[in-house]
Amino acid sequence: MKWAVAAVCVALAYLLPALRLPALTTPEPDWATLLFVVAVYVLLALGLNVVVGFAGLLDLGYVGFFAVGAYSVALLTSPNSGVPAGWPWLAALPVAIVVTMLSGVLLGWPTLRLRGDYLAIVTLGFAEIIRVVASDPTSVFKGDRGISDIPHPAPFLRHADGTPVFGVTDARPYYWLTLTLVIVVVFAARNLDRSRVGRSWVAIREDEDAAEAMGVPTFRFKLWAFAIGAAVGGLSGSLYAGTQGFINSASFELLFSILILAGVVMGGSGNLPGAILGGVLIAYLPERLRGIRAPAWLGGQDLFEWRYLMFGLVIILIMLFRPQGVIPSRRRALELKDRDG
C-alpha cells in the first residue's frame, strides 16, 4: 500500500511538465524551468536534511558545497575555464561529487569537534570564503564574469531530428534528470536513516555525550553526515552548472543557504517528505508571486518585488503554528512528547 502510494507520486512527478494548470504555472520562467528549479532545491533540501535533520549539525553555509560542485564541473568541462581539461559533463560529475565530499571532510575535520553553535558560524564562514575567492576577478573562477560554455549533460542523446535532448530551449529533460536523482537520493537517505548509521545520528542529535558514552564514535559519524550532505550539495551544483551553461560568483549568495535551511526546518527537519515539501515551498512560493500586481494602495509594484517579504512572513507563521515543521518526523515528535511529559 505504501509502495503503491509512492509509485503514484513518482509517476505524477514525472508527468508534471505536461500538466499545465494555469493556477500553478507562472509566466516566467516557463513551467518546465520552474519545475527544474524546484527539483534542484528539493535535492539541496534533502542533502541539508542529512546534516541538520538526521545528525543535528547546524550548517549555515550549505551553499558553499553547491558552489564547490558547480565550479568543479565548470572548471573541468568548460573550454574557456583556464583549466585545459575540457571533459564531458558526465565524466566531470563523479569527480565534482568526490571533490565536494572532500571539501566537506576538510571543513568538518577541524570544526566538527566544536560545539553546535560554533559550527554554525564556521560553516557560514566557509561559504563566505568560497564566495570571496570565487568573486576575485583575477582568480581562476573569474568573479562576476564567471565561466561560460559549460557543456550540457549527455550531448550524444539526440532527438530523431538530430537536435540534442539536453538543449537550451526545452527544460523538461533537465527536470526529469534531476527528479531521477532526487528519487535516488531519497532512497539512499531513507536506507541510511534506518541503518546503524541513522540510529547513531539520532543518538548524536539527541545527546552527544550520552552517545559517546554508549560507544558511538560520534566524530566519525558526524563527519560522515557532513560528507554525505556535501556530496548531495555538489551533485546539485553540478546539475545547475550543466543546465545553465554559465556560473558566476553571484549565483552563490549566503542568503541562499539560509533559505534552504529555512525550507528544511519548515518542512519538518529529519523527515524526508518534510524536507521535500520544504524544498518545494522555498523554490515555488517566491516564483509564484511574479507577475501579480500589488493593489494600488500598496504602491502597485509587481508582487515579485515583495516575494521575500511575504516569504519571511510565511516562515514565521509556519514556525509559530507548527514548531516541528509541517510534516514532522514521527520519531522526533514522539521523543519531544516524551520530553514534555
Residues that bind another protein (CB under 8 A): 52, 58, 110-111, 113-115, 117-118, 120-122, 124-126, 128-129, 132-133, 135-136, 254-255, 258, 261-262, 265-266, 269, 299, 301, 305-306, 308-309, 311-316, 319-320, 323-324, 336, 340
Give the residue ranges of DSSP H helices in the chain: 2-15, 31-48, 63-77, 89-111, 116-134, 172-193, 196-206, 208-213, 218-244, 254-268, 272-288, 307-321, 330-340
Task: State how far the Cα of 63 lies from the Cα of 55, in Å rounded to an integer.
Answer: 18
Residue 222 beta carbon to another protein: minimum distance, rounded to whole angstroms: 15
Residue 162 beta carbon to another protein: minimum distance, rounded to whole angstroms: 45
Which of 109/187 has CB closer to another protein? 109
Residue 253 beta carbon to another protein: minimum distance, rounded to whole angstroms: 9
Residue 84 beta carbon to another protein: minimum distance, rounded to whole angstroms: 26
Residue 90 beta carbon to another protein: minimum distance, rounded to whole angstroms: 33
Dihedral of the alpha carbons of 44, 50, 56, 60, in degrees to the nearest 10: -20
Which of 46/262 has CB closer to another protein? 262
Residue 9 beta carbon to another protein: minimum distance, rounded to whole angstroms: 26
- CA neighbor of 126 nearest in space, from 45, 41, 7, 229: 229
Which of 149/305 has CB closer to another protein? 305
Which of 128/287 has CB closer to another protein? 128
Task: State how far the Cα of 77 lies from the Cα of 31, in Å rounded to an integer.
Answer: 28
Which of 2/115 has CB closer to another protein? 115
**DSSP string across 80-144:** TSSSTT---HHHHHHHHHHHHHHHHHHHHHHHTTS-HHHHHHHHHHHHHHHHHHHT-TTSTT-TT
Which of 149/253 has CB closer to another protein? 253
Task: State how far the Cα of 325 lies from the Cα of 202, in Å rounded to an integer.
Answer: 18
